[in-house]
């Protein structure tokens, strides 16, 4: 690999990880109710299989995949389906969801194996098992993991790039996974290398996680070509294109994917999840989440059942302080603000960050002063101030012509803007509007 372990542009926000970087992962007890939206992954929502009044065991399939770019949803606790209806979703919308009243005295014991043993499976069988287990990328985008395991036949993939950057401030989910479960991450890498048929893997980790670097170096397999590459601490180092540039020096062209330059990128937590479903025989029904920020009393790294409500997770962490002003799912750079404590933590929820006045973004915005800071920050060399002006004027087609599609919504431009213009939020809205216009026209 000939990379420079960094990419050009980007920003250096305070990482604020000290609150949970050294806090061991602990398991949260089962809440009284879990809520499982049918839309928890990129692609088509799952199709409902249960009805009100049905009793479900932990691990039972309650909704099935609708096509290849979709995954099933499984009950994360034994209980009774009390309702199926619209419920607040982490993305701010309402989504169809299954409510399960958790059986209070159930031992919640693991089911007999629902996922086959890994040994002896062909690559196609691994892909099928990973989809059936409902595994998605746990780094935030929730892209079905089996799709990344089955690139097109003509794609020339020469290595697996393991994303351990975790560049979002505050979040320590991936960090703790690498430090506490390095063997599981290595097992996930083995499964993925076998399935993709690649002979090389590189694990990229930002240098602010020395214990994770040490743990993964200590557990490197003797029979596979896997290396650990410490990376410069810079935001957004964990964005796929930035990571590829930093590790290999290769540039993913506009409109292309990592596989077009020979790479498949998978996040460490997702690899650990792939390993875990084969180890335990259970589908993806729980995940590790960082609950942190200055306005939460006991910042923690927790294993939570998928579908745990925000309120229950916060209560388990001692509740909120009186000066709370904002709750985000995800980190402060790309996270989504939450307004309802009944919103569930879903498969793609990397963390909950609770901010007070001092740490939240200023709300008053001023006109653009053409300082150019946003241009210097943008890692994909866009012109954020111009895109912002086009967005304000509703000129969405012109934004497209100015390469809006390349914007990763990383928030680096908004972070540096002295006028507090919410550039990346404007770009997210514009992308959504353009998408809707296209669906309407089709
Ligand atoms: S949000 Fe988009 S425009 Fe802004 S810095 Fe990130 S990639 Fe560039
Ligand atoms: S950083 Fe803000 S004020 Fe400066 S050019 Fe960009 S949009 Fe304008």
What digits encode the pLDDT tens for the residues 121-154? 999 999 999 999 999 999 878 899 999 999 998 8
Q: Ligand 1 centre and the CA of 400: distance in Å?
A: 14
CA of residue 415 to ligand 1 center, whole Å? 10
Q: Exposed/middle/buried for 107, CB within 10 Å: 0-12, 13-18, 19+?
A: exposed
Residue 9 pLDDT > 50: yes
Label residue 1 by pLDDT band (50, 70, 90): low
- pLDDT tens sequence across 314-354: 999 999 999 999 999 999 999 999 999 999 999 999 999 99
At 5, is the pLDDT very low, low, confident or very high (cuts 50, 70, 90)? low
Q: Specify burial of residue 117 (Cβ count, 10 A radius: 0-12, 13-18, 19+).
A: exposed
Which residue lies with its CA nearest to atom 1 of ligand 2? 417
What share of the chain has pLDDT > 90, as a percent?
Answer: 86
Ligand 1 pocket test: which of 373, 399, 407 has the largest number of ligand atoms within 8 Å of its C-beta?
A: 407
Q: Is the CB of 384 under 6 A from ligand 1?
A: yes
The pLDDT value given to residue 2: 47
Give strand pairing partners of 328: 337, 353
Chain-wide mean pLDDT for the chain?
94
Q: How far is CA 62 from the centre of its chain?
A: 22
Q: Report how far ligand 1's centroid is from the alpha carbon of 54 (Å).
A: 46
Distance 200 CA to ligand 1 centre (A): 31
Surface-to-core class of residue 194, CB atoms within 10 Å of its CB (0-12 exposed, 13-18 middle, 19+ buried): middle
Residue 291 has pLDDT above 80, yes or no: yes
Ligand nearest to the CA of 386: 2
Cα dihedral value 231, 233, 235, 237, nearest 10? 10
**From ligand 1's centre to the CA of 378, what distance in Å?**
5
What domains appear along the chain, each with residue ranges and CATH number?
138-280 (3.40.50.11540), 373-441 (no CATH)
For the chain, the C-alpha Rg in angstroms (whole number) is 21
Distance (angstroms) between ligand 1 centre and the Cα of 319 equals: 34
- Ligand 2 atom at minimum distance from 416 CA: 1
CB 208 within 8 A of CB 170: no
Interval 84-120: pLDDT, tens? 999 999 999 999 999 999 998 888 887 788 899 998 9
Place of tokens 């048929």: 197
Record the tokens describing residue 410, joined without a space. 């990383």
The predicted model scores a pTM of 0.94
Residue 70 pLDDT more than 80?
yes
Q: How far is CA 250 from CA 6, 266, 319, 354, in A?
A: 12, 17, 45, 37
**Ligand 1 within 6 A of CB of 410:** yes
Q: What is the pLDDT of residues 15-33, one digit of tens each?
A: 999 999 999 999 999 999 9
- 96, 37 Cβ separation under 8 angstroms: yes
148-178 pLDDT, tens per residue?
A: 999 998 889 999 999 999 999 999 999 999 9
Q: What is the pLDDT of residue 435?
A: 87
Identify the nearest ligand to the CA of 370 by its number.
2
Q: Which atom of ligand 2 is nearest to the CA of 370?
A: 5
Cα–Cα distances (Å) from 421 to 236, 306, 377, 407, in that order, read 19, 35, 14, 16
């Amino acid at each position: 690999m000939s990379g420079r372990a960094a990419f050009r542009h980007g920003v250096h926000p305070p990482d604020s990880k000290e609150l949970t970087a050294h806090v061991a992962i602990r398991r949260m007890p089962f809440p009284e109710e879990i809520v499982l939206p049918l839309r928890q992954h990129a692609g088509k929502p799952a199709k409902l299989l249960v009805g009100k009044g049905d009793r479900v065991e932990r691990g039972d399939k309650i909704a099935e995949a609708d096509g290849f770019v979709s995954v099933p949803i499984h009950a994360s606790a034994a209980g009774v389906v009390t309702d199926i209806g619209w419920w607040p979703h982490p993305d701010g919308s309402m989504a169809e969801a299954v409510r399960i009243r958790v059986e209070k005295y159930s031992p919640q014991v693991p089911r007999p194996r629902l996922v086959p043993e890994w040994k002896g499976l062909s690559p196609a069988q691994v892909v099928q098992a990973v989809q059936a287990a409902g595994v998605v990328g746990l780094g935030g985008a929730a892209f079905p993991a089996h799709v990344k395991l089955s690139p097109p036949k003509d794609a020339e993939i020469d290595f697996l790039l393991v994303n351990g950057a975790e560049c979002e401030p505050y979040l320590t989910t991936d960090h703790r996974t690498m430090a506490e479960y390095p063997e599981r991450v290595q097992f996930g890498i083995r499964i993925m290398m076998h399935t993709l048929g690649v002979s090389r893997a590189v694990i990229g980790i930002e240098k602010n996680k020395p214990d994770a670097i040490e743990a993964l170096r200590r557990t490197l397999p003797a029979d596979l070509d896997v290396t650990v590459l410490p990376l410069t601490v810079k935001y957004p180092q964990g964005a796929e294109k930035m990571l590829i540039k930093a590790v290999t020096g290769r540039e993913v062209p506009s409109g292309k994917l990592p596989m077009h330059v020979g790479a498949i990128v998978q996040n460490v937590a997702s690899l650990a999840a792939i390993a875990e479903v084969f180890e335990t025989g259970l589908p993806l029904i729980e995940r590790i989440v960082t609950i942190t920020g200055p306005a939460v009393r006991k910042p923690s790294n927790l294993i939570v059942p998928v579908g745990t409500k925000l309120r229950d997770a916060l209560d388990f962490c001692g509740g909120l302080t009186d000066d709370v002003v904002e709750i985000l799912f995800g980190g402060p750079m790309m996270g989504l603000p939450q307004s309802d404590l009944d919103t569930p933590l879903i498969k793609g929820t990397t963390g909950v960050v609770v901010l007070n006045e001092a740490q939240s973004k200023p709300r008053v915005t001023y006109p653009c002063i053409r300082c150019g800071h946003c241009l210097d920050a943008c890692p994909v060399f866009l012109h954020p101030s111009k895109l912002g002006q086009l967005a304000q004027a509703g000129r969405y087609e012109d934004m497209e012509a100015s390469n809006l599609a390349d914007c990763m919504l990383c928030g680096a431009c908004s972070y540096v803007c002295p006028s507090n213009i919410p550039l990346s939020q404007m770009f997210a809205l514009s992308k959504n509007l353009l998408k809707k216009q296209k669906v309407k026209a089709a």
